[in-house]
């Protein structure tokens, strides 16, 4: 065929080099995106069932939002942010590394807590300059839930139940829930002093990060991924032992609700999370099946962030999950995930029939049938045989044959392309609605 000849550009200079995606940033191609769309649709339904509403904030935010919100001495702010200066006005901007800070900014900016608490969710890309590896990318995607304006432990439990129900809805197995409490600021202050004293005694095993953080943010040392520091972290004083009655009661109430709802968890006194904004309840859903990228979802309470971003003090709690990790885990567990949207393929042997056939295709689509139109190569529509080949390789469930004979009688022939085919049937083009549903190609 002359297809390749037609596509050749007469002006293409020999020096055009191929341009590839930025390292650690991935294309999601159609076979894969069907899985993403499926996951997103399950999430939307589940969020609606809990009466959470969607929020969409910008991908670019003022750098100060993250420095102030996440904490200056955190991995993200110290080394992972994509920050740049606006060329026109010099503003310091950052591609969002997470979405909680942006959601809080929006809630404050639009005075959204004025008439009471809000339950929100989001989905979208995040950016962190990390070393790319399986389950760790520079552009990755999160789905998150944030509830603002409620203080009680039942809302901590609600967000955890929401995540737990999501695993059930998508068939995800073998994720365990780890739970901890980071207490309140005075409790953390007391713990901090004990922590510094402990690490001062073990300076020799501290790495560069830890030494630097010893007096600025010693809690962060507990979040280390350095195996050489495992023992010294293990032996460090536990925040749980510094909690007062009120903080302990909050934790116990969360545990009670989880118990009553059959959600199992383990208490992990080492769990601190990567951002400074958390207090009281923190949790992670973890799997052993993704190597060191085993945290699929993490979250907790952040009662002081709203005030830090300039709003009137209000409590909040939320979580975020990593879409790539959740899908990789499902795949590893052999879950049957969709890789295409079902459709029919319209075979049109005679080019002059196209204007009429396209009208029928649009009517079918309006009735909810997904149909792909056959498109020619520029030198006609091709033989029946080649059209059938294209129908098959398109993954279509059915071929709709709009031949001259069929059209003369106002009919279309329908042939199944899967499960060994079977008999061809003929349907009326005057009564599309009487058979459209039977194809079951509605997405």
Which residues of the shown chain bind ligand ATP in the complex (CB under 6 A)?
98, 128, 130, 135-137, 140, 142, 274, 293, 295-298, 320-322, 324-325
Nearest approach, Cβ of 276 to ligand ATP (angstroms)?
Answer: 12
Task: Compare residues 218 and 382 and give the one whose CB is closer to ligand ATP.
Answer: 218
Distances (CA, A) of 101 to 51, 109, 188, 278, 315: 22, 12, 22, 12, 14
* Closest listed residue to residue 175, CA positions, set 337, 36, 295, 261: 295
Nearest approach, Cβ of 10 to ligand ATP (angstroms)?
Answer: 43
Burial class (CB in 10 A: 0-12, 13-18, 19+), 9: exposed
Q: How far is CA 225 from the centre of its chain?
A: 23
Nearest approach, Cβ of 66 to ligand ATP (angstroms)?
Answer: 12
Q: Are 309 and 104 in contact (CB under 8 A)?
A: yes
Nearest approach, Cβ of 322 to ligand ATP (angstroms)?
Answer: 2
Nearest approach, Cβ of 299 to ligand ATP (angstroms)?
Answer: 7
Task: Compare residues 284 and 427 and give the one whose CB is closer to ligand ATP.
Answer: 284
Task: Compare residues 293 and 353 and give the one whose CB is closer to ligand ATP.
Answer: 293
Task: Compare residues 309 and 323 and give the one whose CB is closer to ligand ATP.
Answer: 323
- CA gap 98, 75 in Å, rounded: 13
**Closest residue by beta carbon to ligand ATP:** 322
- CA gap 194, 176 in Å, rounded: 30
Task: Compare residues 206 and 329 and give the one whose CB is closer to ligand ATP.
Answer: 329
Q: Are 304 and 101 in contact (CB under 8 A)?
A: no
Task: Compare residues 33 and 293 and give the one whose CB is closer to ligand ATP.
Answer: 293
Nearest approach, Cβ of 113 to ligand ATP (angstroms)?
Answer: 24
Structure tokens given for 393: 């390789």
Three-state secondary-structure class, residue 415: strand
Residues facing 247 on adjacent strands: none
Nearest approach, Cβ of 75 to ligand ATP (angstroms)?
Answer: 7
Q: How far is CA 399 from the centre of its chain?
A: 35
Task: Compare residues 324 and 406 and give the one whose CB is closer to ligand ATP.
Answer: 324
Nearest approach, Cβ of 44 to ligand ATP (angstroms)?
Answer: 19
Question: Left, alpha or beta for 232 (phi > 0: left; psi -120 to 50: alpha)?
Answer: alpha
Task: Compare residues 101 and 106 and give the one whose CB is closer to ligand ATP.
Answer: 101
Q: Are 104 and 94 in contact (CB under 8 A)?
A: no
- CA gap 171, 173 in Å, rounded: 6
Q: Are 140 and 125 in contact (CB under 8 A)?
A: yes
């Amino acid at each position: 065929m002359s297809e390749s000849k037609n596509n050749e550009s007469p002006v293409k200079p020999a020096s055009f080099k191929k341009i590839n995606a930025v390292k650690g940033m991935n294309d999601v191609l159609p076979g894969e995106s069907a899985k993403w769309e499926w996951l997103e649709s399950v999430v939307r339904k589940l969020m609606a069932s809990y009466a959470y509403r969607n929020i969409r904030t910008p991908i670019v935010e003022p750098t100060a939002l993250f420095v102030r919100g996440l904490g200056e001495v955190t991995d993200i702010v110290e080394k992972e942010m994509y920050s740049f200066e606006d060329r026109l006005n010099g503003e310091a901007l950052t591609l969002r590394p997470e979405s909680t800070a942006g959601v809080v900014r929006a809630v404050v900016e639009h005075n959204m807590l004025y008439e009471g608490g809000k339950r929100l969710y989001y989905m979208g890309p995040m950016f962190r300059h990390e070393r790319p590896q399986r389950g760790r990318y520079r552009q990755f995607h999160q789905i998150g839930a944030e509830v603002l304006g409620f203080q009680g432990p039942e809302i901590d439990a609600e967000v955890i139940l929401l995540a737990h129900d999501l695993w059930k809805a998508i068939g995800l197995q073998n994720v365990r829930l780890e739970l901890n409490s980071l207490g309140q600021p005075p409790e953390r202050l007391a713990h901090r002093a004990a922590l510094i004293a402990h690490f001062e005694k073990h300076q020799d095993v501290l790495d560069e990060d830890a030494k630097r953080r010893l007096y600025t943010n010693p809690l962060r040392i507990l979040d280390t991924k350095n195996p050489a520091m495992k023992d010294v972290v293990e032996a460090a004083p536990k925040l749980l032992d510094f909690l007062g009655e009120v903080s302990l009661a909050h934790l116990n109430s969360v545990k009670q609700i989880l118990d009553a709802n059959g959600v199992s968890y383990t208490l992990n006194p080492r769990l601190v999370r990567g951002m400074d904004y958390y207090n009281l309840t923190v949790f992670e859903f973890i799997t052993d099946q993704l190597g060191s990228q085993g945290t699929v979802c993490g979250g907790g309470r952040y009662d002081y962030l709203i005030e830090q971003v300039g709003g009137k003090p209000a409590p909040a709690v939320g979580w975020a999950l990593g879409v790539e990790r959740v899908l990789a885990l499902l795949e590893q567990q052999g879950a049957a995930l969709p890789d295409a949207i079902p459709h029919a393929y319209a075979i049109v042997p005679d080019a002059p029939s196209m204007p009429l056939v396209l009208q029928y295709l649009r009517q079918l689509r309006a009735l909810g049938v997904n149909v792909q139109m056959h498109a020619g190569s520029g030198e006609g529509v091709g033989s029946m045989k080649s059209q059938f080949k294209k129908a098959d390789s398109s993954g279509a469930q059915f071929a709709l044959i709009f031949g001259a004979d069929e059209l003369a009688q106002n009919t279309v022939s329908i042939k199944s392309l899967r499960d060994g085919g079977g008999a061809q049937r003929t349907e009326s083009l005057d009564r599309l609605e009487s058979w459209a549903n039977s194809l079951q190609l509605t997405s």
